Amino acid sequence: MKVGIITASDKGAAGQREDLSGPAIEEMIREIGGEVAAYEVVPDEFEALKAAMIHMADDLGCHLIFTTGGTGFSKRDVTPEATLAVMERNAPGIAEAMRAASLAITNRAMLTRAVSVIRGDSIIVNLPGSPKGVRECLAVILPALPHGVEILTGQASECARPD
């Protein structure tokens, strides 16, 4: 599976902070046979985020696109809005699963505005901005995502679990 990673960080894009969350994603996606096809650190700007997602989905054909950062309440946090702007179909269960699992760890999980959507043959998922949050959320959703990609790309047709 081709994977795209987008880190939303003003300081990271300016070279003032090392991105630790993007590498955490890269490390964990190997568990499901994922290979990073694209990795970008962009500022917390709507158009930059939107352009990166469109490029990875439409031009590079990434099956999974993970964003990290920009999902909180800060005025600069616009990752969910950029993600919804490129959406063709909603896939709320992924973000709901992450939120539910995270709430068992901290009540601050209710403050995330992360979304998950479909664009073409790509599943786009907003992850937290911290490496710890990335690992906790990916641990919940990674086991189901390969099947989601198979269904989306027509490689499988059933979501029901075998008896």
pTM score of the predicted model: 0.95
The ranges assigned to domains in the chain are 2-152
> What residues contact residue 31 under an 8 Å CB cut-off, 6+ apart?
142
Nearest Cα neighbor of 82 from 124, 21, 24 is 124
* Contact call for residues 70 and 79 (beta carbons, < 8 A): yes
Second CATH level (architecture) for the domain 2-152:
3-Layer(aba) Sandwich (3.40)
pLDDT in tens, the chain (163 residues): 999 999 999 999 999 999 999 999 999 999 999 999 999 999 999 999 999 999 999 999 999 999 999 999 999 999 999 999 999 999 999 999 999 999 999 999 999 999 999 999 999 999 999 999 999 999 999 999 999 999 999 997 766 666 5
First to last CA, the chain: 27
